[in-house]
Amino acid sequence: MSANKAKTHPIPITATKSAHVPDMDAYRQLVAEAEADYSGYWSRLAREFLSWKTPFTQGLDDSRAPFFTWFEDGTLNVSYNCLDRQVERGLGDKTAIIFEADDGQVTRIDYRELLARTCRMANVLKARGVKKGDRVVIYMSMSIEGVIAMQACARVGATHSVVFGGFSAQSLRDRIQDAGAVMVVTADEQVRGGKQLPLKAIVDEAIALGGCESVANVLVYRRTGGAVGWNASRDRWLHDEMQAQSPACEPEWVGAEHPLFVLYTSGSTGKPKGVQHSSGGYLLHAALTTLWTFDLRPDDVFWCTADIGWVTGHTYITYGPLALGATEVIFEGVPTYPDAGRFWKMIQDHRVSVFYTAPTAIRSLIKAAEADESVHPKRYDLSSLRILGSVGEPINPAAWEWFHQHVGGGHCPVVDTFWQTETGGHMITPLPGATPLVPGSCTLPFPGIAAAIVDETGNDVPNGQGGILVVKKPWPSMIRTIWGDPERFKSSYYPPELKGCYLAGDGAIRDAGTGYFTITGRIDDVLNVSGHRMGTMEIESALVSCTELVAEAAVVGRPDETTGEAICAFVVLKRTRPSGEEARQIADKLRHWVAREIGPIAKPKDIRFGDNLPKTRSGKIMRRLLRSVAKGETITQDTSTLENPAILEQLAQKN
Ligand code: WT7
């Protein structure tokens, strides 16, 4: 798709009144400032946005490229910047978090109380032996306590690693082990869509799998009071522990490069990688993008619907909004419970003014609203909304228009924010008030981000021609390394042929006229299903680990109307190829197996059985052909190099 043909939306008037970046001239001025003195530009912002214990003397240090550092000799504490600072500024009584539980019950917490509870929890961590530099795994539901756990780690200088509550015991074990965590923070259960789902039991199962000997303590937040197994030498109730601690805790001042967190994400090969982020550079971009991209104002009510288990929740729930002293909504449940009007009702009830969500959610709520008028956004008072945001995957123009029209009443800018776990914060995004919007385009780089499109040899391609999305200069919130694997960091993100550019892993095209970016999707074997990132290799490994049944498996993505992409698995069984009811039963068994190995989000939507897979004579699986088969396309490509061309017809049959 070319951005040229799409309709340009005039900048809605509500956004232009005194926006932080008020017009394109202001945008260009910032871009020019960064071009003139790159390190100086970010250093100016780092001084303005963050409170330093010891000021830094140097911005960027590129002497150990691609291991770049920012503000390295400065010291600070992230939780001080998010909490104490707000209380010192007189915002102690301001609501920090409005929490809405799955059942609709609302809890508010102000900055003073959030600080006190973070301090209590930080003291619990210290009392249980957690020291600066230790890793703490957080396996929690969406809750105020989840945010407090992250902030408490930051306060004592521990590096947190949040694992999304939908991952299996096996995945959790792998992450605990890779991080060498000394503690796990969890809840007894989580509540989603009216159902109570286990968390503590999965932690027990993960530890029982072995390899988690580093874990000395498991802290358990009591959410539901449901029955849990208990190991008295290891398990502690969070409320008991916090009660016994003081609500004051001196922050641990750390260097700007100190690892604030490691967050696991999928790559094209091997196991998930631990993306390591810094403290100073990361927090700078979290705060700066929250302010400029959402044009955040003191009286805004900000709601990011992401889970804290993903990077969006880290940057736009736990860190960015709090670093600015904002009021934000946190939601425990799911958008379709008790009905698909839940988001609209919550916007109405809490007078949400900035709403940030994912295209998948929008698409499924469009479907629901079309099927049932009573959950259509027009049935709710959404007049508090000022700005809308989208994240996680490309937003198709039709969904963009619906979001803009029916949720935003035609007057709220939609910011389509492109970024990644590795980038820490927004990379390419409109700035409301400044950037004319084009549905389906994430528009222009955030001021100071050197995004570009190149060919396989790292040379620029002209606008209007697609290529590989790269970032030509290091930026403050970029990934620092892959936890424990610096070589994999280098080869994944700085391949030699790209001449020192950061490789994002996406394809992109710039409009010939406007220079606007449109992301065309991953160029590696990474899938994006409902905004969840997964490696095809991971799912293949999970399938073939079912050794009783599976001989061989290949996984590809195919476009899906609601989830963006859907997982399609081609499987060769150890027994003869099943059909009919039997095939469906085995497919279900394999879906369960994958859910157990990775998590329910990795379950293949389609499973097709074949006597073999399409291979070249040298034995290489032709994924390109499998992608066509998955889409239901007639194969027009040349199949003469195939060892077994007839197999394609067999694989085209659905179960
Ligand atoms: C991948 C990163 C960004 C935080 C949540 C996902 C895709 C993300 C957009 C967008 C088109 C997008 C890319 C990217 N993606 N945002 N606005 N338009 N594609 O983080 O799990 O690290 O996934 O999500 O393919 O590489 P992630």
pLDDT in tens, 402-418: 999 999 999 999 999 99
* Per-position b or e across 208-227, b if 16+ CB within 10 A of its CB: eeeebeebebbbbbbbbebe
In terms of C-beta density within 10 A (0-12 exposed, 13-18 middle, 19 or more buried), how is residue 641 classed?
A: middle
How large is the average pLDDT for residues 144-158?
98
Residue 29 to residues 26, 413, 513, Cα–Cα distance (Å): 5, 22, 21
Lowest mean pLDDT among 363-377, 520-534, 549-563, 628-642: 628-642
Mutation choice for ligand 1 from 275, 276, 414, 419, CB with most ligand atoms inside 8 A: 419
pLDDT per position as a tens digit, 404-454 = 999 999 999 999 999 999 999 999 999 999 999 999 999 999 999 999 999
Does pLDDT of 636 surpass 50?
yes
Lowest mean pLDDT among 16-20, 478-482, 589-593: 16-20
**pLDDT value at residue 5:** 54
d(CA 262, CA 274): 5
**pLDDT value at residue 646:** 84
Does pLDDT of 467 surpass 50?
yes
C-alpha 384 to ligand 1 mean position (Å): 28
Query: Is 416's C-beta closer than 6 angstroms to any atom of ligand 1?
Result: yes
Lowest mean pLDDT among 187-201, 414-428, 641-655: 641-655
Q: Fill in the DSSP letter of residue 561.
A: T
- Tell me the pLDDT band of 16, cut-offs 50, 70 and 90: low
C-alpha 506 to ligand 1 mean position (Å): 9
Residue minimizing CA distance to atom 18 of ligand 1: 394
**pLDDT value at residue 233:** 96
d(CA 155, CA 138): 15
Q: Fill in the DSSP letter of residue 443.
A: B
C-alpha 392 to ligand 1 mean position (Å): 4
- On the question of a cis peptide bond just before residue 432, with omega within 30 degrees of 0, the verdict is no
SS3 500: coil
Q: Count the residues in the chain.
A: 655
Residue minimizing CA distance to atom 12 of ligand 1: 393
Those residues with Cβ within 8 angstroms of residue 310's Cβ, 6 or more apart along the chain or in another chain: 164, 263, 421, 532
**pLDDT value at residue 17:** 67
Which tokens go with 108? Answer: 């508010």
Which tokens go with 222? Answer: 């009591």
Q: What is the mean pLDDT of the chain?
A: 95
Residue minimizing CA distance to atom 6 of ligand 1: 392
- Beta strands 502-510 and 467-471 are antiparallel
Tell me the H-state helices in 209-358. 238-243, 280-293, 311-313, 320-323, 342-350
Q: What is the rounded radius of gyration, in angstroms, for the C-alpha atoms of the chain?
A: 24
pTM: 0.95
How large is the average pLDDT for residues 554-561?
94
Q: 177 forms bridges with which residues in the sheet? A: none
C-alpha 300 to ligand 1 mean position (Å): 26
- Tell me the pLDDT band of 644, cut-offs 50, 70 and 90: confident
pLDDT per position as a tens digit, 339-352 = 999 999 999 999 99
**pLDDT value at residue 10:** 83
Percent of the chain scoring above 70 in pLDDT = 98
Sole residue written with tokens 């250093």: 43
Q: By the 8 A CB rule, do 340 and 307 touch? A: no
**Which strand (E) or helix (H) includes residue 593?**
helix 580-597
Does pLDDT of 638 surpass 80?
no
Which tokens go with 344? Answer: 């609209």
Those residues with Cβ within 8 angstroms of residue 256's Cβ, 6 or more apart along the chain or in another chain: 56, 69, 70, 71, 72, 73, 74, 75, 76, 278, 279, 280, 281
The backbone region for 632, taken as left when phi is positive above 0, alpha when psi lies in -120 to 50, beta otherwise, is left
Angle at alpha carbon of residue 198, lines to 192 and 200, rounded to 5°: 130
C-alpha 180 to ligand 1 mean position (Å): 28
**pLDDT value at residue 3:** 42
d(CA 258, CA 281): 10
Q: Which of 528, 532, 386 is nearest to 15 (CA)?
A: 386
C-alpha 469 to ligand 1 mean position (Å): 12
Which tokens go with 256? Answer: 């700007």
Does pLDDT of 4 surpass 50?
no
How large is the average pLDDT for residues 246-257?
98
Which tokens go with 56? Answer: 């830094």
Does pLDDT of 461 surpass 60?
yes
d(CA 264, CA 260): 14
Query: Is 522's C-beta closer than 6 angstroms to any atom of ligand 1?
Result: yes
Q: How far is CA 199 from the centre of its chain?
A: 21
pLDDT per position as a tens digit, 507-521 = 999 999 999 999 999
How large is the average pLDDT for residues 587-605?
96
How large is the average pLDDT for residues 143-162?
98
Q: By the 8 A CB rule, do 591 and 552 touch? A: no
- Tell me the pLDDT band of 2, cut-offs 50, 70 and 90: very low
**pLDDT value at residue 195:** 97
Q: By the 8 A CB rule, do 239 and 247 touch? A: no
Does pLDDT of 1 surpass 50?
no
Q: Fill in the DSSP letter of residue 444.
A: S
Higher pLDDT, 268 or 395: 395
- Tell me the pLDDT band of 620, cut-offs 50, 70 and 90: confident
> What torsion, rounded to 10 degrees, do the Cα atoms 621, 624, 630, 635 define?
-110
d(CA 598, CA 271): 11
Q: By the 8 A CB rule, do 566 and 603 touch? A: no
**pLDDT value at residue 99:** 98
pLDDT per position as a tens digit, 26-78 = 999 999 999 999 999 999 999 999 999 999 999 999 999 999 999 999 999 99
**pLDDT value at residue 541:** 93
Does pLDDT of 25 surpass 80?
yes
Query: Is 182's C-beta closer than 6 angstroms to any atom of ligand 1?
Result: no
